[in-house]
Each structure stands twice: as structure tokens, then as C-alpha cells.
Structure 1
Amino acid sequence: MNEEPDIRIGLVGYGWGGRYFHAPVIEAAAGAVLAGVVTTSAARRADLAIEHPGVRAHDSLDSLVASGIDVLVLSVPAPGRENLVREALGSCAVVILDKPFAMDAGQARELAAYAEVSGARLGVYQNRRWDTNIATLGAVLAEGRLGPAHSLESVFDQNEPRSVESASSGGALLDLGSHLVDQALWLFGPVDNVAAGMTWTPTSWGINDSAFTMRLDHASGVTSWLSANKLAEQGQRLLRVQGAEGQLTIRGNDIQAEALLEGRRPADSHANWGFDPVEATLAIGGRTAGVASAQGRYHAYYELLVDSVRYQTPLPVCACEAVACVQVLDAARLSATLGGTEVPVPKAKNEPCPQC
């Protein structure tokens, strides 16, 4: 029996995101092949030639599309990329955007609507659904050991002043908030109300948000408490879920991101990739026990994408989910400007997403 051909993925951008969080992850995904990269930087072309020999560098989106690809991944800053997204949707059947999906909910809805009209499918790269800690939490929830969940506490602190200085990062809310809100929505469902506060910091180009806290009231009855600080003295990642039967606490930074930034690749050792040496702690009935970390697999996103293209199954993270995430972020921003006043989140349409 003949094997199915690989899904050819074209990458636009070989900066921080494209180089470290897409190219080596695509390389590791079964059934996927990195078919070409658009970058006009001589330095980045040189990096690409060393790190992924044989992968062609292209000068333009048109050149990449003409080479024959099944998916376009746009790893370029969100501000000002709307025309590029529309061009991509007119050129390829499946387009994936880096988070943040859009700068606000209005822009997010416009992109989703344009994708529907164009007949292309549009998604977002939310790789941190496959973080080690989220995989561990998901496994414990699936086993029912905590009982029905009551609350989630999620903290993501960094010492990253350079990203606050960057006008294209979108600040802490759009950068880290895009991850934390997406994880909370994925785990516990839609949000009815948001209350939030934000910290604003002067930069060389203006004022940017460097930290936030928010409370999400999920329709399921779960309350999520999310916070992030890009100017923390010490980075930390904390997940704590309280359930009717017990509490799960997971600490430690994600080992995959650290490994990728150090130049390591999941394809070099699939079996050993993504295991955090820090164990989670489960407390039930006055007793505590360690829980071994589940494997983190960012490349699982691209493996699901391969299946989506081959079998026309839903995208790993569809545009409708991205719109829902940005709507929560908009509500958080508004709440912060109103001094933490609770703000309702627009309800999703009742009809099914045509892309799902």
C-alpha cells in the first residue's frame, strides 16, 4: 500500500517565531515537510541554509505558492499584516497565523469573515496547548481525580524587558495573554464576564503594557485567575486547579521553549522530547502525591494540521476559537481602563463555524 504524500508547508518569516517555534516543529511532525521559507534577509537566509539544508528561501509569497504548497504559515508581526493575510487566503486553501491572531476582536472577525468568503480555512498557531504542564493537567482532569473543577490559577512571569520595548509584540496582554486565555477557554469553555487590571510601562517608543491580571467567569461555572508579568525579577510558570475532590499544583517553566531557543530539535529525539523534570503535586483528602509530567509535544499541532488537510477534519485551532480568545482580551483591556469593572464577553453565534 502506498504511503500518503507529505503535506507541504510554506513558512513566511524566519525571525524569532519562524526560526525557533515553527521550522524545527514542522520538521518533527509526522507527515509534514517544510517546503520553503519566505525571507529577504541575507542573514536569515544563511541561518536557514545551515539549519535546514535543502529548504529553499523565497523572495515573495507568490514564489513560495508557485513552488507547490498545501499550507501557508505566517510568522510575521500581527500589526499591519492584514493585507498579507488576505493575499495568503487568496493563494492557499489553508492559512495559519501566529498569535496574536489579531490586534482586536473587530479585526479578528474581519479576517475570519474574509476567510469564509474566500473559501480558504484560517487558523492560529496556539502551540502552548501542548505545553508539558497543560498536557499534565489535561491528563489529570481526564482521569477525574480532582472531581469537577472549581477554579484555575495560571501565572506566566518573565524577565523580558526587550519584549516590552518591542512595538510589534502587542504587550503582555496580546503576547502572553493570548496563550493563557486560549488555554483557559480550551480547558473550561466559553467566558461570560471578565474583570482585569493592567500595568503600563514607558518605553522608547511610547507606553506598553508589561503585566496584567484577570478573572474569567466561565459559563461552565469555573473561575480562571490569569496573570503575567514581563518585567518580573524571576520568571515563573504556575498552574493550580482546585476541584471538588482535590488540588493539582504544577510549577516550572516549559522545557520545550527553552530547548528550542537553545537550538535543540524535537526531531533529534522524539521519545525524550518535552518531559519536564519537575513533577506536579496532587493533594487529595489531606494527602499529597507526585504526578509525573506528561510529554509536551508542540509538533502535535502540526500532526493534527496534517490530518486536517488530508481528511478535511477541523483545524487544530480554528479562526472561530481565535476570535473568541481575542474577544476575551478586548474585554480585559476595557475592564482595565474602567478600573477593574466586570465586562461581559460577546456570546458566540449559535450556528456552527463553517470552517469547523
Structure 2
Amino acid sequence: MKTITTALCSFGMSGRVFHAPFIQLHPGFTLAGAWERSKHAIAEMYPGTKSYSSLEAVLADDTIELVVINTPTYTHYEYTKQALLAGKHVVVEKAFTTTVAEAEALKALALQQGKQLSVFQNRRWDSDFKTVQKIVREGWLGELCEAEIHYDRYNTALSPKQHKEIPNAGAGIVKDLGPHLIDQALHLFGLPEAVFADVRVTREISQVDDYFEILLYYPSMRVRLKAGMLVREPIPAFTIHGFNGSFIKTRGDIQEANLLKGLQPNTTDWGTEPAGGEGLLHTEREGKIIKEKIPTLQGNYYDYYDGIYKALRKGAPVPVTADDGIHVMKIIEAAFQSSNEKKVVSIKG
């Protein structure tokens, strides 16, 4: 097996938590190292890896086949462009870029270079979302009429990550948590016809948006996406209503928390939610009323990188496409326009 030699563009939290453990675990990858600007920590955690002094050094290494752009959002376009021009396949974190135009330009460049380009929307492989997706796709609720997805937090202090809090093209909650919720909605329901949004600054200390409510218009249903930093007691993260019934699920995926503790995803029960977080299904099927707790499916971010392996070695589609990323950016741009102009904004496919 020829492994996919892979380098990270950062070994901060995202590199340590969301990427390196799964790249290292997958037999189809070799973790080459990371671009580290000051600390040289990757070799301590993964002996045999290398600390690169610059992006140019990463791209000049002919052994590297795949580059992970896990740097601040405002760098995504330029770094991804450089990596594609250097002949590398690319995984880029959310938000894909800062504008639709940038996203479309990167898709075109990847096609021109004959390279694979994928957006790291790891929350598709959360245990809670996978369970919601199963209920929706198996038709347990009948024709859908309404859905609401939340990503609630309570934090009155600013993030220590300055690039998230100081005004720049990639800052703010809409481009931080927004891509998770938008991608999940589009993955479930497709691209909407229109968007209405309210984007706000709710904390006096905030310099960038820290609250949003985005309403997606579909022909026969509405989908509401919400996130904020002043939700001390969160409500269920997923509420789905259809003509036959409802499904309610809390946000319970434990992968990020366990990875932050230093646990490695090398166990058979990885991503298994503890008992008590099951979703509630209340519906009707074949004349029978059903009201029961639904066991939560196992989450696993490993499956994203397994999809990347299959795309690069077996010709399968990448697990999250550039088009997926473009669609998320279209919703984000429409949300800002809607909030600024206080009107409904149409979405073009």
C-alpha cells in the first residue's frame, strides 16, 4: 500500500485534536509533520514527524501528497491556492473561504490542476447528527415541515484566538460555527430557495458578530439555524417536525471533549455517547403511535479521512466537495446581506 504522505499547516488545537489523531491512525496515511511557527511540538507527540519552518518548505517537499489547510479562515484562499499550484491535494477547514468568489476560484483551480479539494466539515460525523440524519432519511416523520438546529454556547469572555475576535474577513460566529450548522442543513435538505437572517453583536466586549439566526426557505418547509454565546441553558440542538411526528436530540457528541483530554481514537467504542442522551421520537407509522428513545449512532471523524483515502487511491468522490463548500459560502453571503438590508435574499443554485 502506498500511503498518502500528509502535512498540516498548523499544529495548534485543530491539528492536535481534529486532524493528526485520525491521519496517524489510518493505515493509508503517513503523517509527515506540520508547519510550526514557534513551538516544535508535533515530533514530541508523533515521533518521526517533522516541523516545517514555512508553508514554502511544506510545499517544496516532494514526498508530501496532501496538505491540510487548518489555519485561520482569512488565509484559506491564498494557502489553498499555493498548495494546489504546487501540485498537492488539499483538505481545507471551514469556513472554506471568506467569499463565494474565492471558493469558486479554488474549485476551478483544483480542476485545472487535476487535484482533489475537500472541505473538512467534520460535524457530519458527529454522533448526534448521524442519528438525526438516519431518522430523516428513513422517513420516520413523514413529509417535513420544520427543522431547527442550534449550536449554543455560554461564554462572556473573548476567545484567546485573536483571529476569531479581531475584525477580519474570516472572523465572527457566522464563519466559525455557521458553517457547521449550514452544512448539516444543506446535507439533510439541499440548497434552499431563499434566506432571511439576523446577525448581531450581543456582548459589549465583542468586536465581531457573536449571534445569528438564519432562516432557510424551502418550498414546503422552513429550517432555522441559531448560534450564540449567551446561552447558559441550551435547548435541544436538533428539533425536526413532520406531518407524522417529531424528533428531538441534544448535542451529545463526545469526540472533541475526549480528544482535548488527549484520548486517542483507537478504540472500538470511540465516539459512543454515554447513556441518557438518546433522541426522542414521537411519530406514527402504519396507524401505530410510537413514542420512544432512539439509541444514538456512533460518531467517528476517522470516516472523513477514510473517505479522503478512497478518493485519492480508489477514485471515489471526496467526502465533502468544493461544491458543498461553495453552497455554504452562498448561504453565509446571503445571511450577511439579509441582515444588513433586513430582507429575504434569493439563492441561486
TM-score (norm: length of structure 1): 0.88
Equivalent residue number for residue 192 of structure 2 = 191
Matched, 1:9 2:13: no
Shift of 1:80: 3.6
Equivalent residue number for residue 74 of structure 2 = 79
Amino acid aligned to 1:162:
L
After superposition, the CA RMSD in angstroms is 2.1
Q: Distance in 2 between matches of 1:257 and 1:148?
A: 33
Q: Distance in 1 between matches of 2:91 and 2:191?
A: 22
Identify the range of structure 1 (244-253 vs 328-337) with the bigger mean alpha-carbon deviation: 244-253
Equivalent residue number for residue 344 of structure 2 = 342
Shift of 1:69: 2.1
Within the candidate set 87, 100, 106, 2:101 is matched to 106
Within the candidate set 112, 116, 121, 1:121 is matched to 116
Are the aligned partners of 1:124 and 1:322 in contact in 2 as well (CA < 8 Å)? yes
Shift of 1:11: 1.1
Shift of 1:64: 3.0
Say which SS state the counterpart of residue 195 (structure 2) adopts: strand
Say which SS state the counterpart of residue 304 (structure 1) adopts: helix
Identity rate of aligned residues, in percent?
Answer: 30
- How many positions carry a matched residue from both structures? 336
Shift of 1:93: 3.8
Residues 27-48 of structure 1 deviation map (CA, whole Å, 9 limit, x = unaligned): 2335223222121322xx13x2
Are the aligned partners of 2:236 and 2:248 in contact in 1 as well (CA < 8 Å)? no
Are the aligned partners of 1:266 and 1:273 in contact in 2 as well (CA < 8 Å)? yes
Equivalent residue number for residue 58 of structure 1 = 52
Equivalent residue number for residue 207 of structure 1 = 207
Q: Distance in 1 between matches of 2:339 and 2:345?
A: 10
Structure 2: runs of 5 or more not aligned: none
Matched, 1:162 2:158: yes
Structure 1: runs of 5 or more not aligned: 348-356
Shift of 1:133: 0.7
Equivalent residue number for residue 327 of structure 2 = 324
Q: Distance in 1 between matches of 2:216 and 2:197?
A: 9
Are the aligned partners of 2:90 and 2:118 in contact in 1 as well (CA < 8 Å)? yes
Are the aligned partners of 2:174 and 2:332 in contact in 1 as well (CA < 8 Å)? yes
Say which SS state the counterpart of residue 325 (structure 1) adopts: helix
Shift of 1:189: 0.7
Q: Distance in 2 between matches of 1:287 and 1:80?
A: 49
Shift of 1:116: 2.7
Are the aligned partners of 1:188 and 1:222 in contact in 2 as well (CA < 8 Å)? no
Q: Distance in 2 between matches of 1:237 and 1:88?
A: 40
Say which SS state the counterpart of residue 265 (structure 1) adopts: coil
Within the candidate set 266, 273, 291, 1:276 is matched to 273
Change (3 A) 1:33 1:149: farther
Amino acid aligned to 1:313:
A
